[in-house]
Structure 1
Amino acid sequence: MAELLKPLILQRADPCIYKHSDGYYYFTASVPLYDRIELRRAKTIDGLVDAQTVDAWRKPDTGPYSELVWAPEIHFNKDPQTGESAWYIYFAAAPSREIKYNLFQHRMYCIRNCHANPLEGTWEFMGQVDSGIDTFCLDATTFEHKGVLYYVWAQKDVAIEGNSNIYIAPMETPWQLGGEPVMLTKPEFEWEIRGFWVNEGPSIVKRNGRIFLSYSASATDENYAMGLLWIDDNADLLNPANWTKAREPVLCSDIPNKIFGPGHNSFTYAEDGDTVMLVYHARTYTEIEGDPLWNPDRHTFVKPLRWDDQGMPVFGKPSLIE
């Protein structure tokens, strides 16, 4: 019997939960004021709710990354150049609220912490993660596959209609790309272009001989929904022809149960170390007053991801644990 789901953490959008080898879960997300990067950790996913929060980084008052800190993600990555591992947080920030190409002017940045516990030690600003394309970008994630560290993110191409597409590139270091960006998906289906033409918020999970890439599309209201790409894990990840894209969304608003605009997810693992957990945000109402950007009520939800007989993920409804 399905169980009705409640938010895990209130007013935390773009949630990222990372389960580390030290047995702790690390959590970060966009905070309502978009002015800092907040971290917390706990031994269980439920323990994150009441865990102490620490500010890893605060935006400066002026400069190229002094506004609208969006969607931080925390990863423990090995530097391909030195072989040394450290904590990295990737985030988007803007120099101002100026609009160009009908978009904010965000770029991607990275901070690093070499302490075993990222809630301690010092976070070092590593600078911009430069894709070589000087346009609006956001929502980066990283993953390692067959000894290569990959960077996946969303970015505007002025030659393509829409707000953002999703790209992949290998990394030379955890804060520098080591190859040309390759576009994997752009907004093209009706459900991806409601309000805004958007593909953003990529996240990676590996299972059953495949690599799955989830992403989010459309405006961040009740039209926000999640899509899916996948590839055989022995294929060339940098060849877009090797990726398959689902034509229909895999997670969207559940109107009867009042869960709206699920998206910008991450994946983690349950305490058993094997069950994949889907982490995402959603609202519980649609009557947003003013600019949706400043509405704080996108809450963090977590539920188990299921799998079908063909080894494909089954996302179900955002309101239910099936």
Structure 2
Amino acid sequence: MQDTVLKPLIEQRADPYIYKHTDGYYYFTASVPQYDRIELRRASTIAGLATAETVDAWTKPDTGNYCELVWAPEIHFNQGAWYVYFAAAPSREIKHKLFQHRMYAIRNPNPNPLEGEWEFMGQVDTGIDSFCLDATTFTHKGRLYYLWAQKDHEIEGNSNLYIAPMKTPWQIEGKPVMLSKPEYDWETRGFWVNEGPSVVRRNGRIFISYSASATDENYAMGLLWADEDADLLDPAAWTKSREPVLRTCYEHGIYGPGHNSFTYAEDSDTVMLVYHARTYTEIVGDPLWNPDRHTFVKPLRWDEQGMPVFGRPSTS
């Protein structure tokens, strides 16, 4: 039986995040090619997100500390309100360099986040003044955690993965704990990167997927996992895969899969893997402004040991 090659769910949307809420709706956000706003969609099915109406929840200002390159928004429902976490860079007149991102949050108490007013909550300060991005949150045993990527000037590379508990949905507390840094060959191609963490829980474990290397065909995904009863703030509690769990499929022409999220199928049980990838490698000009990273969705499988099986980015 021949594999069926997947087609994108949504074209030209990178860093995709799909959240299934208790109201039965799916909420979608992602980096838009212009990097100038936070766009939201809502649908009763995953497939319906492809044609759903788009609403701009927030648009960057013309100047200031967060007026350039709005990257990787994620929408979460935390402690009774909607939050979008995202990264943005200051104007070049302020920093003289474009890649000086910091992380920010906006909040909306409306039951439907495509309606109501979004309030800018300010910077999510990690206590480390350096390039940071790709924040996600999750609640475990009643405690809200913040998980993100950040540069450490003492460690070679562009970004490592960190975790910290949260005092409020827009403030962390305590010192950040580093869980992973680029160290393997597949994490250090083009750039030394660990970024885009996402959390899924199953079979008594907490899994963190993440992305590594440059965002061309070398982009690939890795995996960390810990026992659900472990101290999640103890780096020793986490095991790291030595090999990528998802990488380019040259056979079917799906390149650089990564920056994923997890959601659930309409039956509420099957975990769905959401990620972006390109369908060609011949990028003209600066890859940053190439719009053709598309959103793909496929089921996540599980092996007999209870570990996730990501398969190939090109087939379900």
TM-score class, shorter: over 0.9
1:260-293 per-residue CA deviation (whole Å, 9 max, x = no partner) reads: 0000000000000010000000000000000000
1:125-161 per-residue CA deviation (whole Å, 9 max, x = no partner) reads: 0000000000000000000000100000000000000
1:293 aligns with one of 255, 268, 288: 288
1:285-317 per-residue CA deviation (whole Å, 9 max, x = no partner) reads: 000000000000000000000000000000000
CA change 1:97–1:223 in 2 (3 A) is: farther
Contact 2:89 2:98 in 1 (8 A): no
Matched, 1:275 2:286: no
1:141-182 per-residue CA deviation (whole Å, 9 max, x = no partner) reads: 000000100000000000000000000000000000011100
Matched, 1:89 2:84: yes
Q: Alignment partner of 2:232: what SS? A: coil
Query: Structure 1 residue runs of 4+, over 3 Å off?
Result: 97-103
Q: Alignment partner of 1:3: what SS? A: coil
Q: Which residue of 1 aligns with 2:101?
A: 106
Q: Which residue of 1 aligns with 2:22?
A: 21
Greater alpha carbon shift after TM alignment, 96-105 vs 23-32: 96-105
Matches within 5 A, 1:53-68: 53-68=54-69
Distance 2:40 2:97 in 1: 31
Q: Which residue of 1 aligns with 2:31?
A: 30
Aligned amino acid, residue 60 of structure 1: P
Distance 2:175 2:125 in 1: 11
Aligned amino acid, residue 65 of structure 2: P
Q: Which residue of 2 aligns with 1:257?
A: 252
Q: Alignment partner of 1:4: what SS? A: coil
Distance 2:248 2:5 in 1: 14
Distance 1:190 1:102 in 2: 28
Greater alpha carbon shift after TM alignment, 17-26 vs 2-11: 2-11
CA change 1:101–1:138 in 2 (3 A) is: farther
Q: Which residue of 1 aligns with 2:201?
A: 206
Q: Which residue of 1 aligns with 2:113?
A: 118
Distance 1:242 1:3 in 2: 38
Q: How much has 1:96 moved relative to structure 2?
A: 2.7
Distance 1:95 1:118 in 2: 26
Contact 1:99 1:105 in 2 (8 A): no
Contact 1:42 1:48 in 2 (8 A): yes
1:169 aligns with one of 164, 173, 179: 164
Aligned amino acid, residue 280 of structure 2: Y
In structure 1, runs of 5+ residues without a counterpart are 79-84
Contact 1:98 1:105 in 2 (8 A): no
Q: Alignment partner of 1:223: what SS? A: coil
Matched, 1:315 2:310: yes
CA change 1:291–1:23 in 2 (3 A) is: same
Contact 1:201 1:215 in 2 (8 A): yes
Aligned pair count?
Answer: 315
2:174 aligns with one of 172, 179, 187: 179
Q: Which residue of 1 aligns with 2:155?
A: 160
CA change 1:152–1:191 in 2 (3 A) is: same
Distance 2:284 2:163 in 1: 36
Q: Which residue of 2 aligns with 1:82?
A: none
Q: Which residue of 2 aligns with 1:51?
A: 52
CA change 1:101–1:145 in 2 (3 A) is: farther
Between the two proteins, what is the percent identity of the paired residues? Answer: 80
Contact 1:103 1:163 in 2 (8 A): no
Q: Alignment partner of 2:51: what SS? A: coil
Aligned amino acid, residue 7 of structure 1: P
Aligned amino acid, residue 141 of structure 1: T
1:43-79 per-residue CA deviation (whole Å, 9 max, x = no partner) reads: 000000000000000000000000000000000001x
Matched, 1:8 2:9: yes
Distance 1:5 1:103 in 2: 35
Matched, 1:135 2:130: yes
CA change 1:308–1:230 in 2 (3 A) is: same
Q: Which residue of 1 aligns with 2:240?
A: 245
Q: How much has 1:3 moved relative to structure 2?
A: 2.6
Q: How much has 1:103 moved relative to structure 2?
A: 7.2
CA change 1:197–1:97 in 2 (3 A) is: farther
Q: Alignment partner of 1:47: what SS? A: helix
1:227-282 per-residue CA deviation (whole Å, 9 max, x = no partner) reads: 00000000000000010000000000000100000000000000000100000000
